[in-house]
Structure 1
Amino acid sequence: MIPGTKEWTTSCEWRLDGFEPIVARRMVENILSLWGVHAETIDDAKLITSEVATNAAEHVRRELRKAGVIHFRIDLSGDTLRFEISDPDPRPPLLIRAAHDDEQYRGLTIVDALAKDWGFEVASSGTGKVVWWTQTISHP
């Protein structure tokens, strides 16, 4: 962490059409590195971001994709990071326990395992949802 720093915020948005989750992962890596966050926390944040951003990119209903955007926000307050990814689809994310040999449905299980806590809410605009999670910063 940067000495004396207690609060930081950043946000951005991308058009849903053509969005690739790798863009969000790179943003997380760059911003958290700039903020002096420990590599272990960054790795977990990138993995969770990848899963949530992939869900947003792949599961938004077709009729909402063309004009839709993904909003992404990261807040740092003390030792707590809060992430938010919003998309225009109001359907809630589903935590499904995948079968041992199932190659899908593992994303939110990963989020559930790595995040301090997580959830979703209706977007403040009234359209779509916000999936959020928090992480505690690990120290070397």
Structure 2
Amino acid sequence: MNVQYPMGGLRGARTISVVRDDQEVITPPSEEGLMAAKIPARAEAVAKARHQLGKLLQNSGLSECADTAVLAAQELMVNAMVHGCGSKPALQFFVRATREGGRLRVEVEDPSIEQPHPRPAASDEEGGRGLHLVDALVARWGTDSATTGSGKTVWFELDLATEEGAS
């Protein structure tokens, strides 16, 4: 299922990511608006969405930022699955990726209102480093209120190469 969301400030944004009900679907960029992928809160669904995003970025001529975007997006998707959905497979989260001018923006929306916060992790802890990694990889990141109701959207932006920004 695809859901369209109008997004203030991203007029003319082009869609670069669509996954339908955990199925592998790639759609060409659209001038109509922002599209969303609904992802079940399951590890295998996160893996498929990560793969699709990487493939789509490669096919869209954004190979220079694909690895970075996929790694940062995976961190946000895992956080959405574990913390935002409580690892309940019946729940879902949304992933959106848009390209506007000289930037790539990836958004992950989940049903939890709890805001993410980087925390210090002990050297023997398995988790606690994801947001530090995102912060180190991307140009900007933050949170907004969810567009689909309650919850939050965690997003990041990557600045694209100059020639990409001109298109």
TM surpasses 0.5: yes
Residue matched to 1:13:
38
> Cα distance, 1:26 vs. partner?
0.7
| Contact map agreement 2:39 2:45 (CA 8 A) in 1 | no
Alignment partner of 1:123 out of 146, 154, 162? 146
Residue matched to 2:73: 49
The letter for the 2-side match of 1:24 is A
Match of 1:34 in 2: 59
Q: State the AA in 1 paired with 2:68.
A: D
Offset, 1:113: 0.5
Pairing 1:25-104 to 2, within 5 Å after superposition: 25-39=50-64, 41-60=65-84, 62=86, 65=88, 67-104=90-127
With 121-130 and 41-50 compared, the bigger mean Cα shift is at 121-130
TM-score (norm 2): 0.69
SS of the equivalent of 1:49 reads helix
AA paired with 1:45? A
Moved more, 103-112 or 65-74: 65-74
**Segments ≥4 residues shifted beyond 4 Å:** none
Task: Please give the TM-score of this superposition, normalised by the length of structure 1.
Answer: 0.81
Is the CA contact (8 Å cut-off) linking 1:38 and 1:138 kept in structure 2?
Answer: no
Question: Larger RCO: Structure 1 or Structure 2 (Cα < 8 Å, ≥ 6 residues apart)?
Answer: 1
Q: Deviations over 1:7-65 (max 9, x none)?
A: 521331122256532122112111111110134x1111111011111111111355x93
Query: Unpaired runs of 5+ in structure 1?
Result: 1-5
